[in-house]
Amino acid sequence: MTQNIRSLNLDDFKHGDRFTKAKFVQNLGDAYKNIGFVAIYNHQLSDELTENLYRYTKEFYALPLTTKMKYHVAGIAGQRGFTSWGTEHAKDSKVGDLKEFYHFGQTIPTELQDTYSYHKNVWVEEVPGFNEYGLKAYAALQETGKYILRAIALYLQLEETYFDTYIAYGNSILRPIHYGPIVDAPKNAVRAGQHEDINLITLLMGASAAGLEVLDKQNNWIPITALPNQLVVNVGDMLQRLTNNILRSTTHRVVNPPKEDWGTTRFSIPFFLHPVSEMSLNCLPNCVTADNPKAYDDICAGDFLTQRLIEIGLLDRK
């Protein structure tokens, strides 16, 4: 049975009194400790924006593969533009996932482009609405993620704005994904193999079909869904490292549909919220205790991202 995860009202944090705000912070932390995912409503993403982004996402993926490949940029580990079927795989697997995806990244003001040397976004000529609504969704999810991280900072007994400067021009990614029809019986391939996300937090608008499952503390796979107009938000590996496992990155996957539904497609649009590359992921001192000794070597976000891109097959080892 699909489980509806805990729902929290972001307005309680943004506009509530100090008691309402404190309760939101506690509930958020408890939800992450329990299952690792939470649903958020009253976020920045409007229904109109979501509907149009899915509309143009479907139009883009309906293009011939030869057309979509015009927007593949070699040598940048899929960080912008189009990545074709089976290229990415889970960290501990060599079997390519049954998906294709597109990446929108940070838009940097001209005066800051020398400071942040990110790859430029790639614009799809055939479906201009894909570009327009991709960037609008990016901005809305970035703003929502800022408030989630502010609540997490308070939960960790940090300054509320601890993450703000790290994410303002962070290396975040919006990823519209297409899981296509399954034509032949897959041997070991699934739509997305079990994995943990790389980043600080992931914000996921409702997918077009079921399939997301998370691994609970009893090692059971639990189907997850969010109610309409909600975002599913989960912890990634960067936040797990930073908090020395106090907040854990939850293992999840996207399973193949029943055989009678192999001819169907699935669309999903996660926003992976990353900090700037220079941010230290060294375990926070207040998260290291005698009962919870330091679990990770020191590393910065950029080096950790590079390491993980190699592990999932998007970047060649040098």
Tell me how far apart the alpha carbons of residues 125 and 131 are, in angstroms, rounded to a whole number: 9
Tell me how far apart the alpha carbons of residues 253 and 311 are, in angstroms, rounded to a whole number: 17
**Model confidence over 183-227: pLDDT tens digits?**
665 555 555 567 788 999 999 986 544 568 888 777 888 887 767
Judge whether residue 2 has pLDDT over 60: no
Q: Where is average pLDDT lowest: 48-57, 101-110, 165-174, 211-220?
A: 211-220
3-state DSSP percent of the chain in helix, strand and coil, to 5: 30, 20, 50
- Whether 255 maps to a domain, the answer reads yes
Strand 231-235 relative to strand 221-225: parallel, antiparallel, unpaired?
unpaired
pLDDT number for residue 51: 93
**Model confidence over 128-145: pLDDT tens digits?**
999 999 999 999 999 999
Tell me how far apart the alpha carbons of residues 98 and 166 are, in angstroms, rounded to a whole number: 33
**Model confidence over 71-89: pLDDT tens digits?**
999 888 888 999 987 655 4
- Which CATH number belongs to the domain containing residue 297 in this structure? 2.60.120.330
- Whether 236 maps to a domain, the answer reads yes
Tell me how far apart the alpha carbons of residues 133 and 179 are, in angstroms, rounded to a whole number: 20
Phi, psi of 81 (to 5 degrees): 75, -155
Tell me how far apart the alpha carbons of residues 249 and 251 are, in angstroms, rounded to a whole number: 7
* Residue-number span of the structural domain to which 67 is assigned: 3-311
User: 236 pLDDT band (50/70/90 cuts)?
Assistant: very high
pLDDT number for residue 4: 54
Q: Where is average pLDDT lowest: 86-90, 100-104, 265-269?
A: 86-90
- Whether 265 maps to a domain, the answer reads yes
Q: What is the mean pLDDT of residues 103-125?
A: 91
Tell me how far apart the alpha carbons of residues 162 and 21 are, in angstroms, rounded to a whole number: 17
- Whether 243 maps to a domain, the answer reads yes
pLDDT number for residue 1: 34
CB atoms within 10 A of CB 13: 23
- Whether 316 maps to a domain, the answer reads no
Q: What is the mean pLDDT of residues 254-272?
A: 73
- Whether 317 maps to a domain, the answer reads no
**CA atoms within 13 A of residue 118's CA, in its CB half-sphere:** 28
pLDDT number for residue 89: 44
Sequence-ordered list of residues with C-beta below 8 angstroms from that of 22, at least 6 positions apart, any chain:
none
Its pTM stands at 0.89
> Per the structure, how many domains does the chain have?
1
Tell me how far apart the alpha carbons of residues 223 and 200 are, in angstroms, rounded to a whole number: 23
